[in-house]
Amino acid sequence: MTIIGRIVGKITTSHFSFKIETEAKKFDFVQVCHKEYGFVLCQIVELERLGDDYTAVCNIIGYKDESDNRVKLPRSTFEPSTEVLFAENSLVEAIIKLDDSAKGAYLGLLDGKDIPVYLDMNKLLTKHVVVLAKSGAGKSYCVGVLLEEIIEKNIPLLIIDPHGEYSSLKSENDKDKDLMIKYNIKPKAYVKNIREYGDFKIDRNLVPLKLSNRMGLKELLNIIPVKLSNNQTGLLYDTLRNVPNFSFSELKFALEQQDSNVKWSLIGIIESLESLNLFGEGYTSLNEIIRPGRCSIINLKGMPQAAQEIVTYKLLHDLFEARKLESIPPFFCVIEEAHNFCPERSFGETKASSIIRNIASEGRKFGLGLAVISQRPARLDKSVISQCTTQIILKITNPNDLKTVQNSVEGITQESMGEIKNLPVGSAMVCGLVDMPLFVNIRPRKTKHGGEAIDMLNQDVQLMEELNKFEDENKKPLIYPQTTFEEFKLMHNKDWIFKKKLIPAIMFNCSQKDNEYKILIELDNGEVVLNVDTLDTAKLPDLDKLSRKEIQTLSQAFQLKKFSLNGFIQTNGSGLDIKITLDNLVKKGFLLGSSTSYELNPKVILGSLNEFACFEKIRFESIDLKTEPINSNLDEIKTHLKRFTEIIDYEDCYIVKYEAMPSN
């Protein structure tokens, strides 16, 4: 053991100073032998210099009482001139209790000692954690490490992810192999554990998320996007006072029965909520989202802030209520950019503020753990921060944020506060793990980091590359089938001749009731592409060629889909002369059928156009193929399409078609 100095000056039962005889650093752990208690663990909290003399100020952490296995402070002082030694790893581990690999979450190594630091998983699940840091300090990376550990323990995990950062948990880290050896970990991907929900129209790899449209009046008032007048609120109370839970359709019907002009504005508000496409009777099961071994990521990327708040509020509300009834397992919830969902009250309220505060204060009683992540501590609700027993703090420099940390985090010392501004990227101060702040070097992630910032220094190069791809005449805007060319060949006789063909098309960006979507139209026939693999298409109906009676009959047929003549007459109260109208619709291609049975023609689009949206992405690539001649008139297609939707923009492209034929 190395002697680094001897005790000098004033000595108390909580702190002392010693003259440094060799090199030492602030926050180093040291040990001093006490005449009654044996070796006691201490920590350097400040260094002082007077001329050539160096003095270290130490806080006393404690000793291990073998009689009851508890850590205690000495009740008498050290002797003057007692030797001060660098602390052995075994003493640090025994006093601070950092090593619990079986039950804990491996966060990293204790700074200066390379001792593994584990967070108590049971404490995390029941007593909450907050991660605070300035942008770029490694906050999301640190959270990724924590998430990997939670997934490893098969604890159900829910992540509210506003920026789509955490889908990278599905990919292993291929960068930090050498550093992983030091931290004794290996790359890993959690593909089987991850289910990522979000807007399918933004990313086709996401699982569509539907929230229950059944709710109480309090929930409805919380998610309504506008402030209601007293008359509107009164009408809602009057309409729903005897209905504990209702659907949107039931609410609209009930409002229509009210004798008040205010009802129309309320119905419009309900319809605006429906148009967000967030709610439905066939909502995503809560037991699907929360189950052992599953990490459910709610990817909110691309959603308006108001929609993000509604999703967060409604989902957390339903899950919290289900947890109270024990109909779902205990789980851990992570909220990234939490200051946007639960801001300090002086910055206003969001739709999700109330439920997050509720979970922070009561979730621990029901086995619902919470992690709130923020790069702006001063903007995050102070009551939520105060409810988090474990605090992981990375580099912070903003004075307001530092003041918030100092006022909100228990056990933090003035010496530790001064270090927060100087923490290197990848290091964190952990409070609440033991009775003193610990400095931890965060281990490398097993999975790929999804929150890396864009390198702005290379933006000029990237922009030129983007421009060059348009200037290169051989690069064309292409839409590929889901099946690769090699897979297509395997589906056919290997002796056949295979080739690719380019089909000219237009990708229209459309809007309907504030809902944007894309429609792909093949130019050689002017029809909507339903499937890029098979090139199945359907045409937009020309309703101008139909009589009023034919339009009415077609509308009735649309409700039935497939029907007999007698069934149609019985359902709609029509006479026998309706057969003439149905047969005319068959001749005009709107229906398929014979003399007694009919069905909608699947080659004609009769429903909402957004149901036929295209989610394929256009890729600019070089391809040595001739284009097919265009037989359709673009202006005619645009004019016809405008009858069904609003056109925002459009883009030329080519659909890559695979063909196979016998060689002889």
User: Which pLDDT score is estimated for 552?
Assistant: 87
Q: Where are the alpha helices (DSSP H) in 435-519?
A: 459-471, 485-490
User: Which pLDDT score is estimated for 38?
Assistant: 94
Calculate helix-pair angle for 230-240, 248-256, nearest 10 degrees.
100
DSSP letter, residue 343? B
CATH code for the domain defined by 106-209+284-442:
3.40.50.300
How far apart CA 500 and CA 458 sit, in angstroms, is: 36
Burial group, residue 567, by CB count within 10 angstroms (0-12, 13-18, 19+): middle
Count of Cβ atoms closer than 10 Å to residue 175 Cβ: 12
Q: Measure the CA angle with vertex 238, ends 234 and 243; round to 5°.
A: 130
- Strand ranges across the sheet with 591-593: 562-564, 597-600, 591-593
User: Which pLDDT score is estimated for 310?
Assistant: 93
Task: Region of 426 please: left (phi>0), alpha (psi -120 to 50) or beta.
Answer: left
State the sign of the Cα–Cα–Cα–Cα dihedral 276, 281, 284, 285.
Answer: positive
Cβ neighbors of 304 (< 8 A, separation 6 or more) are none
The highest-level CATH class for domain 3-96 is mainly beta
Rg value, the chain, Cα: 33
User: Which pLDDT score is estimated for 462?
Assistant: 46
DSSP letter, residue 200? T
Of 2, 86, 19, which is closest to residue 56 (Cα–Cα)? 19
Find out whether 614 and 519 touch, Cβ atoms under 8 Å: yes
pTM: 0.67
Count of Cβ atoms closer than 10 Å to residue 334 Cβ: 24
How far apart CA 402 and CA 339 sit, in angstroms, is: 15
- Torsion, Cα 152 154 155 160, to 10 degrees, reads 70
How far apart CA 209 and CA 304 sit, in angstroms, is: 15
User: Which pLDDT score is estimated for 190?
Assistant: 93
User: Which pLDDT score is estimated for 124?
Assistant: 74
Q: Between the CA of residue 146 and those of 103, 166, 496, 611, what are the distances in Å?
A: 13, 12, 53, 40
How far apart CA 425 and CA 336 sit, in angstroms, is: 19
Cβ neighbors of 231 (< 8 A, separation 6 or more) are 260, 262
User: Which pLDDT score is estimated for 557?
Assistant: 87
Give me the residues of the chain with pLDDT under 50, please.
453-473
User: Which pLDDT score is estimated for 112?
Assistant: 81
How far apart CA 374 and CA 573 sit, in angstroms, is: 63
